[in-house]
Structure formats: C-alpha cells, structure tokens
C-alpha cells in the first residue's frame, strides 16, 4: 500500500498515461491531445499504434513518453500477430506496451496459453515496460486473480484493469484483488472510469501505480484548485476512458 501524500500537479501528472485511443479521433484531435499531455507533463501518452511516430515527434523534448496498445481492444489476435505488432510499435518509437491478454483463453482456464502469450510480447519488448490488460468487466474474481498471476508469470511489469471499451472499468474491488494477487515487483494500472481526482487518490492509496485516463486536464486542474483553495471541484469527465 502506498503512503498518502499531499498531491501536487507534478506528483499526480507523473502517474498518468494520457489515453488517446478512441477510434473516431482525427489527426487534429490527436495533435491537440498530444499538446495537452506535453503541457501538463504527464508520464506518458497511450496512443493508437498508427499514431506512435507522430506522437514521438510531437512530444520530443517534453519528457513525455509514448506508449501504445497491442492486441487492442479484444486480445483475440494470435501471439504471432501481437509480437509483430509489438516489434513495429517499438521500431516506431514506443517505449511501453499495453497488451490485452486473450480474454477467452483466460475464461476457459487455459492459463498456460495466457502466460505464453504474455511472455512472447515481453520477450520482444527486451526489458521495456509491458502492461497486461485483463478486461476485468468480463471476469469473475477468480479469473481476475488467475489472470494477474499469469501476467506476472509471463514477465509483465504491470497488470491493468481495462481497455475502457468493454463497459465498466476500474473498481476498488478488482484493484485490491490484483494488488493481492501479484508480488510487489509487479505494478498496478487502473484504467476505465478514472475521471476525477478523488477516485485517483482513493486508488493510489491502495497501491495503484499508474492511471490511464482521458480526463487528464480535469484531474490536474482539480489538483491546481486544491492547492490554491483547499477545495477540488469534484467535476468528472464524461468519457469511459
């Protein structure tokens, strides 16, 4: 469990992977979101694979890393496809990979297949951060635990709740299950429904290390307001990711 601290814009921004993943986003939309991420100094952006190169170029000099998604959003592509996608993403400049595990295999109890799928992407990443998305909305508690353990067995750096596209999102219950299921060496990422500062801080207090959200500006503006007035607005973002 993480020790609570007084939030600052810098400390909260350092926990954020700003999500730029909606399929309908135009080039101008993506550029605006990349500029927002650079302006706030978040840890990273998580972009669609086709946007990696432009993200790396536009964020050059900002200190904001570029991550991307693999097998997104369903996780049902073959391991060969996931590894090929991972290689191309790394060639284009991605520094972190958020892969969706094979949800159907996990629900079928084929944990060896799930572990091998993760391990193949981890091998391609060659030491770079790999986050494994469980898609908790589709899983029982037992499957959340089993998926977390399989991700760790495959060498994942993080286990992550959700894509944000399956209905539902990160919950305190699932995050506690995930934190308890893996060793301290594996970190936890909450995504889907992280729309406000209060939610983020509550999750941080139980050991969540990173947050995927499109509500970055809402959250960080609330941090600023809290520092200035002692009161956050409590406003929330309408999007699911």
CATH code: domain of residue 110: 3.20.20.70
Q: 235: pLDDT confidence band, cut at 50, 70 and 90?
A: very low
Which of the following is catalytic: 82, 131, 149, 189?
Answer: 189
Is residue 238 situated within a structural domain?
Answer: no
Which of the following is catalytic: 82, 131, 149, 160?
Answer: 160
Half-sphere exposure of 153 toward its Cβ, with a 13 Å CA cutoff?
A: 15
On the question of pLDDT at 92 being above 50, the answer is yes
Is residue 236 situated within a structural domain?
Answer: no
Length of the chain: 241
Is residue 2 situated within a structural domain?
Answer: no
Q: What is the pLDDT of residue 88?
A: 98
Nearest to 82 by CA among 110, 117, 55, 109: 117
CA distance 161 to 173: 11
On the question of pLDDT at 83 being above 50, the answer is yes
Q: What is the pLDDT of residue 232?
A: 65
Q: 230: pLDDT confidence band, cut at 50, 70 and 90?
A: confident
Q: Which residues pair with 66 in a beta bridge?
A: 45
What is the tens place of the pLDDT at every residue in 26-66? Answer: 999 999 999 999 999 999 999 999 999 999 999 999 999 99
pTM of the predicted protein model: 0.93
Nearest to 174 by CA among 201, 135, 211: 135
How many domains, the chain? 1
Antiparallel, parallel or unpaired: β 187-191 and 210-213 = parallel
Question: Catalytic residue at 60?
Answer: no
Residue given tokens 């993943």 in the structure block? 21
Q: Which residue has the higher pLDDT, 205 or 226?
A: 205
| Contact present, 143 and 150 (Cβ < 8 Å) | no
Burial class (CB in 10 A: 0-12, 13-18, 19+), 25: middle
Measuring CA to CA, how many Å separate 144 from each of 65, 95, 207, 237? Answer: 28, 26, 17, 26
What is the tens place of the pLDDT at every residue in 178-225? Answer: 999 999 999 999 999 899 999 999 999 999 999 999 999 999 999 999
Q: What is the pLDDT of residue 18?
A: 98
Is residue 31 situated within a structural domain?
Answer: yes
Q: What is the pLDDT of residue 167?
A: 83
Antiparallel, parallel or unpaired: β 44-47 and 210-213 = unpaired
Question: Catalytic residue at 189?
Answer: yes
Q: What is the pLDDT of residue 233?
A: 62
Which of the following is catalytic: 17, 51, 98, 117?
Answer: 98
| Cβ partners under 8 Å of residue 63, min gap 6 | 41
Measuring CA to CA, how many Å separate 74 from each of 24, 78, 99, 133, 186? Answer: 17, 11, 10, 10, 23
**Whole-angstrom distance between the N-terminal and C-terminal Cα of the chain?**
25
What is the tens place of the pLDDT at every residue in 129-172? Answer: 999 999 999 999 999 999 999 999 999 999 999 999 998 889 99
Is residue 240 situated within a structural domain?
Answer: no
Is residue 234 situated within a structural domain?
Answer: no
| Contact present, 199 and 234 (Cβ < 8 Å) | no
Question: Catalytic residue at 209?
Answer: no
Is residue 239 situated within a structural domain?
Answer: no
Is residue 241 situated within a structural domain?
Answer: no
CA distance 39 to 57: 15
Could you list the residue range(s) of the whole structural domain that residue 104 is in? 9-228
The encoded tokens of residue 107 equal 């629900």
């Amino acid at each position: 469990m993480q020790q609570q601290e007084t939030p600052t814009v810098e400390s909260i921004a350092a926990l954020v992977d700003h999500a730029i993943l909606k399929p309908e986003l135009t080039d101008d939309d993506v550029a605006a979101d990349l500029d927002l991420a650079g302006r706030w100094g978040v840890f990273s952006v998580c972009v669609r694979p086709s946007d990696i190169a432009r993200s790396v170029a536009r964020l050059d000099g900002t200190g904001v890393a570029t991550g991307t998604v693999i097998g997104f959003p369903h996780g049902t592509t073959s391991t060969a496809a996931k590894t090929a996608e991972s290689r191309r993403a790394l060639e284009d400049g991605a520094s972190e990979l958020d892969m969706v595990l094979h949800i159907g295999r996990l629900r079928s109890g084929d944990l060896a297949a799930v572990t091998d799928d993760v391990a193949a992407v981890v091998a391609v990443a060659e030491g770079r951060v790999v986050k494994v998305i469980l898609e908790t909305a589709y899983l029982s508690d037992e499957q959340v635990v089993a998926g977390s353990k399989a991700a760790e067995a495959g060498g994942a750096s993080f286990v992550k709740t959700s894509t944000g596209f399956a209905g539902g999102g990160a919950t305190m219950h699932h995050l506690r299950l995930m934190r308890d299921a893996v060793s301290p060496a594996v970190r936890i990422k909450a995504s889907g429904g992280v729309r406000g500062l209060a939610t983020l801080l509550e999750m941080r207090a139980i050991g969540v290390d990173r947050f995927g959200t499109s509500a970055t500006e809402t959250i960080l503006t609330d941090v600023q307001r809290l520092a200035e007035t002692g009161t956050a607005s409590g406003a929330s973002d309408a999007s699911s990711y």
